[in-house]
A and B are shown apart, each in its own frame.
Chain A
Amino acid sequence: MLDFEPFYLTLKLAFATTAVLFIVGVPLSYWLAFSQSRFKVILHAFISLPLVLPPTVLGFYLLLAFSPESIIGRFLESLFDVRLVFSFTGLVIASVIYSLPFMIQPIHSGFLSVPKNLIEASYTLGKSKITTIARVLLPNMRNSLFTGCILSFAHTIGEFGVVLMVGGNIPGETRVISVAIYGEVEAMNYHNANVYAAILLGFSFLVLVLVYALNHNIFNPSPGST
C-alpha cells in the first residue's frame, strides 16, 4: 500500500541534477576563479541568486518560461516536441538552476585554495592548461569537489517549493518525496506521511554522517584534522 516510487524518483532527480551540475560547475567555477573579466562579478552574483530568492520566484518564472505560450516553450515544443513544464526533465533543469550556487561556491573556493606556486610550477614545467587542471588543481581540491556534490545532492532531495509550482504532482514523473509527504498530510494519511518522513529523516542523517566521516578521516588523514 505504501508507494516507494517517490523515493526512487527523488534519488533519480538528485543524481541527475548533481551529475549535470558537476559537469557545468567545474568549468564555470574555474572561469570564475581565474578569469580577469569584470563580467564575472555579474555572473557570480547571478548564479548566487537562488541563495537569496525564495523558491516561489524561480518557480513562477520557470512556470511562465516552460509554458507552451512563452517563446522558449513554443520553440521547444514546435522544434523538438518537448514540454518542460510538468516533466522530469523540467524538474532537472529547475533543480540545476536552484542548486547551482551549492555546487559553485565550494568548487570556486577550492580553486582559489590551491597554492599559486603549484600551478606556476606546472606551467614552468611546460604542462598545458588542461593537464594542470586535471593533474594539479582538481586532485588538490578533492574535498571541495566532494562538498559541492554532496551539498547539491542534499539540496535537491530537500527541494519542495519549485517542484510544487512546476511539477504538477504526477506519480512517477514529478511526485518527489517532499511533495508526496505534503500530499499525504493534506489527505490525512498520517501513517504514510510518518513512514515517508521517518525514512527521509534517517536517510538524510546517514548521508550527512557519511559526509563528515569521509571528510574527517579519509580526505584529511593528517592528525590535526579531527
Chain B
Amino acid sequence: MRKMCILLLTVFIFSNLSAQTGQEKKIVIAAASDLKFALDSIVAVFKNSHEGMVDVIYGSSGKLFEQISNGAPFHLYFSADINYPKLLKEKGLVSSEIYPYGVGRIVIWSKKIDPQKDGIQTLLSPSIKKIAIANPAHAPYGKRAEESMNYYNILSSVREKLVLGENISQTAQFVTTGAADIGIVALSLALSPNMKKEGGKYFIIPENSHNPLEQGAVITRFGGGNRLAEEFMNFIKGTTANDILTFYGFTRP
C-alpha cells in the first residue's frame, strides 16, 4: 500500500513538472460552436508550421464567456458575438486587441423539405411540426434567428413549434438526426463535410433581416505573454486562415 502511494506521488510530481516546462508549448482555445469545423481545419494547418499543442473547447459563446469571467484557463476566446469579448475587455480580462475575424450567416436547413423554393416561408409549411433554433436567451445564432423570423412576421405563427438547442451545434444535431423537421443553423456548419453528408438542403437567410453576426477573437488575460497564443492570433489574421474562414461561409466585417 505504502509503495503504491509513493509510486502515485512520484508520477504526480513528474507529470506536474513536465506540465510546467511544457507550458509555452500548449494553448487551450475556447471557441463558439459555429467554428467547430472551420477552426479544426485552421488548427490542423497551424500545427504544420508551428511547434506545440493546440486544444480547442467548443461551447456556446455565452457559456464560455461565463467560464472565462470566472477564471477558466483558456488562452484565446473566439466568440460568435463580438460583444462578449468587448465585455471581457471592460472587465480587464483580455490582453490583446479584439480581432473581428468574420461575420456569420444563418441558414434554414432541412432533410425533409427543400427550403430553397419558399425561403423563410418554408417554416410555415403545415408538414413541419418542430423547428429547431439555438436558445435565443444566450446563443447569438438563436438571437439572430428570432430577429429574422420577427422581421418576416412569422415568429408568432411558429412559436409553438420551436425547440431550443443549447448551442448552435446541438441545434444542428436536432435537424441532422431528423428529430426536428427543419432548423435555423449557422452557414459554417451547413458547409461542413459532416453536415453535408447528411444530405439536407439549405436556404441562406437574407442578411438584412437580422443584426449582423459579427464575431471576435481575443487573447485572454490568462493567455497574456504566451508566445504560442500570440502566434495563433497572428495566424488567424493571415491569408490561409482567412481562406478557410471564407470557405466556411464567413465574410469579412
Contact = CB atoms under 8 A, between A and B. Distances in A.
Contacts of A83: 129-130
Interface in B21-43: none
B130 A168 contact: yes
A188 B139 CA distance: 12
B178 A183 contact: no
Interface in A166-190: 166, 168-170, 182-183, 185-188
Interface of B: 60, 62-63, 66, 111, 129-130, 132, 135, 137-138, 162-166, 173-174, 177-181
B62 A186 contact: yes
B179 A170 contact: no
Contacts of A187: 62, 137-138
A168 B130 CA distance: 10
A64 interface: yes
A64 B137 CA distance: 26
B19 to A, nearest CB: 27
Contacts of A58: none
Contact of A168 (B111, B163, B178): B163
Contacts of A164: 166
B98 to A, nearest CB: 19
B138 A67 contact: no
A168 B133 CA distance: 9
17 contacts: A67-B178, A69-B111, A85-B130, A168-B130, A168-B132, A168-B164, A168-B165, A168-B174, A169-B135, A169-B163, A169-B164, A170-B162, A186-B62, A186-B135, A186-B137, A188-B66, A188-B138
Given A186-B63, A188-B66, A68 B178 contact: yes
B57 to A, nearest CB: 15
B66 A186 contact: yes
Interface residues of A, number: 22
Contacts of B129: 83
Contacts of A169: 135, 163-166
A188 B62 contact: yes
A183 B166 CA distance: 8
B177 A67 contact: yes
A63 interface: yes
Given A183-B135, A186-B62, A63 B163 contact: no
A88 interface: no
A86 interface: yes
B176 to A, nearest CB: 10
B177 to A, nearest CB: 5
Contact of B177 (A69, A183, A185, A186): A69
A66 interface: yes
Nearest to B65: A188
Contacts of A166: 179
A185 B163 contact: no
Given A69-B177, A188-B66, A86 B135 contact: no
A185 B66 contact: yes
B138 A186 contact: yes
Interface in A50-74: 63-64, 66-70, 73
Given A86-B130, A168-B174, A188-B62, A63 B162 contact: no
Contact of A63 (B60, B135, B138, B177): B177
Given A186-B60, A186-B63, A170 B177 contact: no
